[in-house]
Amino acid sequence: MTRRLAPVLAAAMARAKSPILAALPVLLLAGALAAGIAAWRMERANAGITAIEAGRDLPVAADAPAPLLLARILLLARRGGTEEAEGLIDALASEAEPALVARARYALANARLRRAFAHIERGELDPAGPLINLARQDYRRALQVRPDFWDAKFNLDVASRLIRDFPEFDRQIGDEMKAEPKKLWTDIPGQPRGAP
C-alpha cells in the first residue's frame, strides 16, 4: 500500500504549482494521524475509567488524563488509600479543571473523616484528632477551588464540631518548657449524636 501511495504523492507534489498545495496532503495525513492517536488514547482512558469504576484497582500514571486520575483517586479514597491519593491529587491539580480537583479533595477528606470516626468509635481519641484536622484542611481546599460545593461546606461543619479551634499561644524564646501534666480532657468531646 505504501509503495503505491508514495509515487502518487510524488506525482501530485510535482504537479502542484504552489509549495503550500504540495504540502497539503502531508499536512492532512499528519492531522488524521494525530486525531487517530488522540481518539485511541481517549478510548484507552475510558476503558480504564470503566474498569476502575467496576472495582478493579489499576495503576494510573501521574500524566494520565484528568478523568482517569479522578476515577483512581475516588477508588483509593473509598478503600482508604489516602497517601497514594494525595500524590495523584497534586498531579490532577496541575492540569484539571477546578470542579474535578474539588471532587478529589472532597473524596480524600471524606476518607480521612471516616477513619477518624472509626477511631472515635473504638475510643481512640488521640489518633482521630490529626485525621480530623487533615479532613478539615481538605474540605477547605475543595471550597477554595469551588466555593459553591455545598456537601463540602456541610462536612466541614461536621468536622469542625468534632475538634474546637484554639489559638496557639506564642511562646517566647528562652522560656524553659516544663513537663506538661497529663491532659485532663481531650480536644475531641466525643461522638456527636442527634441534631444540635
Percent of the chain past pLDDT 90, that is, above it, reads 24
Distance CA 76, CA 87 (A): 11
Is it the case that residue 67 has pLDDT exceeding 60? yes
The confidence score (pLDDT) of residue 19 equals 65
Per-residue pLDDT tens digits for 152-178: 999 999 998 888 665 444 444 444 545
1-15, 49-63, 119-133, 171-185: least confidently modelled range: 171-185
Domain ranges of the chain: 1-56, 59-163
pLDDT for position 194? 59
Highest mean pLDDT among 26-35, 128-137, 181-190: 128-137
State which fold the 59-163 domain adopts. 1.25.40
Q: How far is CA 67 from CA 60, 64, 155, 160, in A?
A: 11, 8, 24, 30
For residue 178, what are the CA distances in angstroms to 168, 173, 175? 17, 14, 9
Q: Which cell goes with 83? A: 497517601
The tally of CA atoms less than 13 A away on the side-chain side of residue 149 is: 25
- Find the mean pLDDT for residues 145-155: 93
What pLDDT score was predicted for residue 173?
46
How is the chain classified by DSSP, letter by letter?
Answer: -HHHHHHHHHHHHHH-SSHHHHHHHHHHHHHHHHHHHHHHHHHHHHHHHHHHHTT------TTS-HHHHHHHHHHHHHHT-HHHHHHHHHHHHHHS-HHHHHHHHHHHHHHHHHHHHHHHHTT-HHHHHHHHHHHHHHHHHHHHH-TT-HHHHHHHHHHHHHS---PPPP--TTPPPPPPPPPSS-S------S--
As a whole number, the mean pLDDT across the chain is: 76
Asked which of 35-39, 59-63, 163-167 is least confident by mean pLDDT, the reply is 163-167
Q: In this predicted model, which residue has the larger pLDDT, 66 or 169? A: 66
Is residue 1 scored above 70 in pLDDT?
A: no
More confident residue, 122 or 164: 122
